[in-house]
Amino acid sequence: MTAITLDGVKTASDIKAELRGRIAALRSHGVVPGLATLLVGNDPGSETYVAGKHRDCAEVGIGSLRIDLPGSATSADVRAAIKDLNNSREVTGYIIQLPLPVGHNENAMLELIDPSKDADGLHPTNLGRLVLGIEGELRSPLPCTPAGIVELLRRYDVPIVGKKVVVVGRGLTVGRPLGLLFTRKGLDATVTLTHSRTVDLAGEVRRADIVVAAVGVPHLIQADWIKPGAAVLDVGITRVQDPLTGKGRLTGDVHPDVASVAGHLSPNPRGVGPMTRAMLLSNVVKAAEQSLLA
């Protein structure tokens, strides 16, 4: 058996095509959705992701603004940039690219974002709304990677209700909010959130109908950990240098042999990463649509 590929590139492209129509409708009402990014330092991964976000915006017709601070920026510099973004009339939504360089308190910086401009759903107010399960008028943006994972499963008709989900990794951008999202009414999965101190990780993963690996440990998840037919989403990514060519290479958390056991598998790269970007665009468009209703 070879797993069906959960193709993030194709699905993200479908979503972008859908968003283009909604953006055109917004523009016809005089609303131009916009996104700003705040990047501190020159982490190569973060630079790639931020550049990708601006390319996506241009592709679908969202305005974008890039604020880059050097690695030497102090926490006061970052706070000042956040204050400017909060006060700017032109910027309706923005993100702080994570991780911030060592020495900056990420949670403290996220807390300074105006929650109504939080395009990433990572401000405590928006995470709190996720905890409270608030829907409807007050609907807040969902963190992009968890939203992308659920959207990818939905678009491939992978059943979620009543299924056992094991999430490997409890980080802020993926594991923690994903557990909340999967257990929301309507999705109704049973979630086990595992981490570095979990006893018998392989045993936990073996019970799962859906496995999400988001730790950044190359090939941690082995084929004999997977229940035959399970859906496996490979999220964690590690940049490794090929000792022969010296070139950088991306390696996911899931061993390639998993493809012969799983029912569905999101590759890495080209799986959840592009979905993360598509969900950011979707958050920006939804916020603009809500501003029209307000």
CB of 23 to ligand LMY7XDAE, least distance (A): 20
Q: Which of residues 82, 96, 130, 152 is near ligand LMY7XDAE by CB under 6 A?
A: 96
Stretch in the footprint of ligand LMY7XDAE (CB under 6 A) among 160-168, 196-204, 212-220, 274-282 = 274-282
Task: Convert residues 47-66 into a mask of x (bound to ligand LMY7XDAE by CB under 6 A) and - (unbound).
Answer: -xx--x--------------
Check binding of 16 to ligand LMY7XDAE (CB under 6 A). no
Stretch in the footprint of ligand LMY7XDAE (CB under 6 A) among 42-50, 76-84, 176-184, 188-196 = 42-50
170 is in an annotated binding site: yes
Helix (H) or strand (E) holding 153: helix 144-155
Active-site residue, from 7, 16, 53, 234:
53
Stretch in the footprint of ligand LMY7XDAE (CB under 6 A) among 79-87, 188-196, 253-261, 271-279 = 271-279
Contacts of the segment 234-237: beta carbons below 8 A, 24+ positions apart? 234/265, 234/266, 234/267, 234/268, 234/271, 234/272, 235/145, 235/149, 235/169, 235/174, 235/266, 235/268, 235/271, 235/272, 236/169, 236/268, 237/45, 237/268, 237/269, 237/273
Total residues contacting ligand LMY7XDAE (rule CB under 6 A)?
20
Alpha-carbon span 152 to 142, nearest angstrom: 15
Alpha-carbon span 280 to 263, nearest angstrom: 28
11 vs 276, which CB is nearer to ligand LMY7XDAE?
276
Residues that bind ligand LMY7XDAE (CB under 6 A): 45, 48-49, 52, 95-98, 120, 144-145, 173, 250, 268-270, 273-274, 276-277
